Amino acid sequence: MNPDNPDDAVFMRRALDLAHLGTGYARPNPLVGCVVTHQGRIIGEGWHRQHGGPHAEVNALAAVADPALLRHSRVYVTLEPCAHHGKTPPCADLLIEKGVPEVVVCNEDPFALVAGRGIGKLRAAGVRVETGLLADQGRWLNRRFFTFQEKKRPYLVLKWAETADGFLAGRYFQPVQISSPQAGLLTHQWRAEEQAILVGTRTALHDNPRLNVRDWSGPQPTRLVIDKNLCLPPTHHLLDGSQPTLIYTYRQPHHATNLDHIRLSEADDLLPQVLADLHQRQVQSVLVEGGPTVLNALLHAGLWDEIRVFRASRKLGQGIAAPRLGLSGLREKLNVGPDELFWYVNE
C-alpha cells in the first residue's frame, strides 16, 4: 500500500465487495470489481455482472460522470485487467485509451492468456501499476477460479449433515431429516453459488433429490450423478430434464433434453475421469452432496477444498455413518438455527 494513499485498502475492499455481487453469474469468468477515484473520492464503480457482458473496468469507467477526470484518476481492480480479445475487448487497452495514470491490482490473473500481460501492457504505456493489495482476500474471493486455473480441476466443496452420534442416514440408506430449516436455506444459497452439484448412485436412488435452487435467488446448477450401471429409474427427479444434468456411467451413453450420459473407462480411477471431464467443460466448482461412498473417496484422495458439515442435536443410534474427520484447517464454527456448522478449508 502506498503510504501517500492511506485509503488504498478501503477502496480495494469496496472493489472486492462489488466483485462478490457477480457470484453465480460471472462464471466461468472470475469475480472482478473496480473502483475509480479522484483526489480520494470515488467517482465510478462497477463489477462483472454476467458472463459475456462488460467487464468490471468497462462498467466502472462508464459510470464516471466527467470522463476528463480519468486522466487524473486512480483505479482499483481486484484482478489484473485482461490483455486479450475474448467476448469483449481488452480492459488494459481501455484503461490506456482513457488515459488512466494509476492502477492498483489486487491479484495477478493466472489465466494463460493474461498472466502478467495486462500489467505489462499498462506499464509499457506509462501507467503506474501497483500489485498485491489485499491479495489474500482476493484469492479467497476467486478461490474457485484460481483452483480451476492452477490445479486443472473444479473447486470441490464437500457438504453433509450428520446427527450428534455421527450418522447421515438411517439403516439401509433410509432418508432422515437431520438438519434444520435454517440449514436447508443456507444449502440452497450454496447451490446458487456453485456451478454444479454432485451425488452418487445411492443418494440419487434413495433420496430422489431435485438438486435445484428453490429457497434462494440464483442460477440453477448443473446436476452431476455418478451412476456406473444406470440404476436410476426414469421417474426420478434427476432425469426430468428440468435443468442440465450429466450422468457418469460405465454403460452405453445416450442423450435426451438437458441430459447427457458420459461413458467412463472401467480400467481407470473414476473420480479423476469425472474431474477431467468437468475441467474440459469449464465447470469451475462443484458442491458435493453425495453419500459416504463419494465423500470418503474424495477425502481419501485429498480431492477437496472445503468441507461444510451441519451437526444436529438429534441422535439415531444406528444408520449409515458419516465420514470421520481428523482435520486441521477449521475456518469457522457457527450456529445455524439449532445446528452447528463446521467449515474446513484445505490449506
Residue 216 lies in a domain: yes
CB-based contact 179:326 (threshold 8 Å): no
Closest CA to 202 of 178, 179, 168, 244: 168
What share of the chain in percent tops pLDDT 90? Answer: 82
| Domain around 265 | 154-345
Domain shared by 59 and 176, yes or no: no
CATH of the domain at 42: 3.40.140.10
The answer, yes or no, to whether residue 46 has pLDDT greater than 60, is yes
Residue 3 lies in a domain: no
pLDDT tier, 4 (very low <50, low <70, confident <90, very high otherwise): low
Residue 1 lies in a domain: no
Extract the runs of DSSP E, i.e. beta strands, from 7-99.
33-38, 41-47, 74-79
Domain end call among 99, 119, 147:
147
Domain end call among 101, 127, 147:
147
Domain shared by 135 and 185, yes or no: no
The confidence score (pLDDT) of residue 290 equals 85
Domain shared by 55 and 93, yes or no: yes
Domain shared by 248 and 169, yes or no: yes
The confidence score (pLDDT) of residue 245 equals 96
- Give the tens place of pLDDT for each residue, 173-203: 888 889 999 999 999 999 999 999 999 999 9
The confidence score (pLDDT) of residue 267 equals 83
The confidence score (pLDDT) of residue 87 equals 64
Distances (CA, A) of 292 to 188, 212, 267, 304, 341: 21, 21, 23, 14, 18
Q: CA-to-CA distance for 278 and 285, rounded, in angstroms?
A: 9
CATH of the domain at 315: 3.40.430.10
Domain shared by 266 and 312, yes or no: yes
- Give the tens place of pLDDT for each residue, 280-329: 999 999 999 989 999 999 999 999 999 999 999 999 999 999 999 877 78
Residue 92 lies in a domain: yes
The confidence score (pLDDT) of residue 172 equals 80
Under DSSP, the state recorded for 171 is G
Domain shared by 78 and 165, yes or no: no
**Lookup: cell for 290:** 453425495
Domain shared by 142 and 206, yes or no: no
The confidence score (pLDDT) of residue 280 equals 96
| Pairwise pLDDT comparison (119 vs 254), residue with the higher score | 119
Domain shared by 109 and 170, yes or no: no
pLDDT tier, 2 (very low <50, low <70, confident <90, very high otherwise): low
Domain end call among 147, 166, 192:
147
Residue 50 sits at φ, ψ, to 5 deg, of -160, 155
Residue 2 lies in a domain: no
Domain shared by 97 and 197, yes or no: no
**Lookup: cell for 11:** 477502496
Domain shared by 242 and 339, yes or no: yes
Domain shared by 332 and 245, yes or no: yes
- Give the tens place of pLDDT for each residue, 104-148: 999 999 887 777 899 999 999 999 999 999 999 999 999 999 999
The confidence score (pLDDT) of residue 85 equals 64
| Residues linked to residue 75 through DSSP beta bridges, in sequence order | 36, 103
What is the domain count for the chain?
2
Domain shared by 206 and 340, yes or no: yes
The confidence score (pLDDT) of residue 190 equals 97
The confidence score (pLDDT) of residue 299 equals 94
The set of catalytic residues is 57
- Give the tens place of pLDDT for each residue, 199-241: 999 999 999 999 999 989 989 999 999 999 999 999 999 999 9
Residue 286 lies in a domain: yes
CB-based contact 105:66 (threshold 8 Å): no
- Give the tens place of pLDDT for each residue, 69-118: 999 999 999 999 998 666 667 899 999 999 999 999 999 998 877 778 99
CB-based contact 251:243 (threshold 8 Å): no
pLDDT tier, 247 (very low <50, low <70, confident <90, very high otherwise): very high
The confidence score (pLDDT) of residue 6 equals 66
**Lookup: cell for 132:** 498485491
